[in-house]
Structure 1
Amino acid sequence: MKPIAITLGDPAGIGPEIIAKAFRDAPDVLRGCFAAGDVATLRRAAAVVQGAHGVDLPVAALERAADAALAPPRCIPVLQVVASQPLVRFGRISARAGRIAGDCVSWAARAALRGEISALVTAPLHKEALAAAGAPYDGFPGHTELLQALAAEHLGVAVAELPVRMMLANEELRTVLVSIHVSLREAIALVTIGNIVTTLRIVHESVGRALHRAPRIAVAGLNPHAGEGGLFGREEIDIIAPAIAQARAEGISAQGPFAPDTVFMRARGLREFDVVVAMYHDQGLIPVKYLGVEQGVNVTLGLPLVRTSPDHGTAFDLAGSGRADAASLVAAVRMARQLAT
């Protein structure tokens, strides 16, 4: 299997630190992985981790990605993919940190699209820092949209021709979103038959590929009680139910719309359903994150590459303290390996 790249994330946040901890605490899971970023930043992170726990954690500068397999356990292999420069300060939003994070993601995405790596796992970046970095990164709200644009460019198609969706998953629940990083007002406007059917197709194909069977998909309603027969809104009657019917006619195992306040309980533990399609960001992500952000994994569906990430942000308040938890990053690496196999 080709190596897995773990991008640096925002160097002012906890990304480098959790990468260092992951290599220290889960050497079997991290075998064949490498950090795509900056050697000096990872050496600082290793020093933070060593200072907190007294464990020797060497950093190896790679000449090429393929050499990651040669690194011994509990050694951090790093490929320098950005220009060497002074370290950024912990916990500070800056354009330079945003550009470093964006450049690391761009390098890893292109390497994956060229077939040089089997997957990429993205440590958290800071959206405000990414925007402050200027063009081209100020045009992307986050990882998902940036990766979509890079993949579309590689394929020679318009971004609109490469729809992608966000899935957040842990051992108990999977949820996929119809819309991602938009205002709630815009998210409601994006609840259309076309967007829902596209989401169901992506879920059917992507999750089905991982499960080796057709997934059982539950579709959440938009309104309280799924509209209560039109009393609280007609989106379920006029939009969501027709979209489900169209998907079912294509052979997709989708059911609903179900009341949003109970459907996640029915899917928890993967009992009645393998995955829930939610209408907007917070509707779908709050239930998964409530079950524990330390095990949550973000997966981008619909891309011609495998991308996962931990289910948390840059945590500037923890950066440099040695207290950040790497469990979600380890889970993201484990899932990336499963999806790429």
Structure 2
Amino acid sequence: MSAMTRSAVPALPTIAITMGDPAGIGPEIIMKALARPDVHALCNPLVVGDAARLRRAAAITGVTLPVVALEDATEARFPQKAVQCLDLKVTPEDLPFGQVSAAGGEAAYRCVEKAAALVLSGVVQAICTAPLNKEALHAAGHKFPGHTELLAHLTGTPEVSMMLTSPKLRVIHVTTHIGLLDAIEKIEPGLVERVITRGHDVLVKAGIANPKIGVCAINPHAGENGLFGRGEEAVKITPAVAACRAKGWDVHGPLPADTLFFLAGRGDYDLVVAMYHDQGHGPIKVLGLEAGVNVTVGLPVIRTSVDHGTAFDIAGTGVADERSLIEALRQAVDLAPR
């Protein structure tokens, strides 16, 4: 970068930040994050949500940054010492913080829907999502397990994967929001290979030429040659690893998950492939919610998210930590097309 002339420095990407469930901590962490000058030096942040709710969040958190309500995303002006908000007017004025409601779920859905349209039309370069509440989303009639599946639906993508990242660890999931028995049944070689492929491709695009990938087993000690489990590793995982290695990729497994996460945490692997939700989420969250970022891999758009929920128990108090949102914005900038 130092060798580039000022005119050659690429323009900052515009990132659509969805407000999430307005009854959660989304509006507060957005206002706290956008009050930091270093965030505006990183990207052009465009909030897709409700200007009145953001102003209320600003009052709660003590943020003095004004909120500009926009009717059209193309009206946004950067840089400005103000929050640029595409105002969808989707939140009832009297909606309380900290409570599940259909109104909150509908507002969150509308924000994601609009952000997806903006990025597909090229108005913005990536999406960064504040948290929504699954129960509220369902109460509003939108029967999706979460952001990942919702964005896949909105973009017409048949299959995506969830990747969690932290400064020390990256984890991509073969299955996510389904029960453990259903997850084990769903895992099969074709799915495992496709997930490994998506993880490999996104790391190559991020500049890691030949990423080292470790693939978790399902059973303790990777089944111990059939001693534990019913041979799931040999049937469901090993063929996928072999297929990826045949492409010349540096893929290893199935490996005992406990050992693999230790090795990856110290830097021996660039990516861990987890078989089910808690196998992958647990290690990331032990490292700290403030550092975790959720990346949806396989969409035609870049989407990152905080790695925490709506935190209804503290919503409206102003104490929510904005650091995970800032990290999610950094990841969105790194992955966004120029």
TM-score, normalising length from structure 1? 0.91
Q: Which residue is equivalent to 2:5? A: none
How many angstroms apart in 1 are the aligned matches of 2:55 and 2:170? 35
| Structure 1 counterpart SS, 2:127 | strand
Q: Which residue is equivalent to 2:7? A: none
The one-letter code sitting in structure 2 at the alignment partner of 1:143 is: H
Question: Given the alignment of the two structures, is residue 308 of structure 1 paired with residue 304 of structure 2, yes or no?
Answer: yes
How many angstroms apart in 1 are the aligned matches of 2:41 and 2:170? 22
The one-letter code sitting in structure 2 at the alignment partner of 1:41 is: R
Query: 2:232 is matched with which residue: 232, 235, 241?
Result: 235
Q: Flag structure 1 segments of 5+ consecutive residues without an equivalent.
A: 153-158
Q: Which residue is equivalent to 2:70? A: 62
Equivalent runs, 1:123-142 vs 2, <5 Å: 123-134=130-141, 137-138=142-143, 140-142=144-146
Q: Does structure 2 retain, via aligned residues, the 8 Å contact 1:3–1:68?
A: no
CA distance change for structure 1 residues 188 and 272 in 2, over 3 Å: closer, same or farther?
A: same
CA distance change for structure 1 residues 83 and 283 in 2, over 3 Å: closer, same or farther?
A: closer
The one-letter code sitting in structure 2 at the alignment partner of 1:46 is: A
How many angstroms apart in 1 are the aligned matches of 2:153 and 2:64? 40
Question: Given the alignment of the two structures, is residue 80 of structure 1 paired with residue 91 of structure 2, yes or no?
Answer: no
Q: Which residue is equivalent to 2:50? A: 38
Deviations 1:196-232 (A, max 9, x none): 0111111111122112413211001000001011100
CA RMSD across the alignment: 1.5
How many angstroms apart in 2 are the aligned matches of 1:71 and 1:89? 32
Question: Given the alignment of the two structures, is residue 148 of structure 1 paired with residue 130 of structure 2, yes or no?
Answer: no
Q: Which residue is equivalent to 1:186? A: 182
78-87 or 259-268: which moved more?
A: 78-87
Equivalent runs, 1:136-285 vs 2, <5 Å: 137-138=142-143, 140-152=144-156, 159=157, 162-233=158-229, 234-269=231-266, 271-285=267-281
Q: Which residue is equivalent to 1:331? A: 327
Q: Flag structure 2 segments of 5+ consecutive residues without an equivalent.
A: 1-11
The one-letter code sitting in structure 2 at the alignment partner of 1:338 is: D
Q: Does structure 1 retain, via aligned residues, the 8 Å contact 2:17–2:45?
A: yes
TM-score, normalising length from structure 2? 0.92
CA distance change for structure 1 residues 100 and 255 in 2, over 3 Å: closer, same or farther?
A: same
How many angstroms apart in 2 are the aligned matches of 1:20 and 1:30? 16
Q: Does structure 2 retain, via aligned residues, the 8 Å contact 1:220–1:263?
A: yes
Q: Which residue is equivalent to 2:34? A: 23
Q: Which has the higher helix share?
A: 1
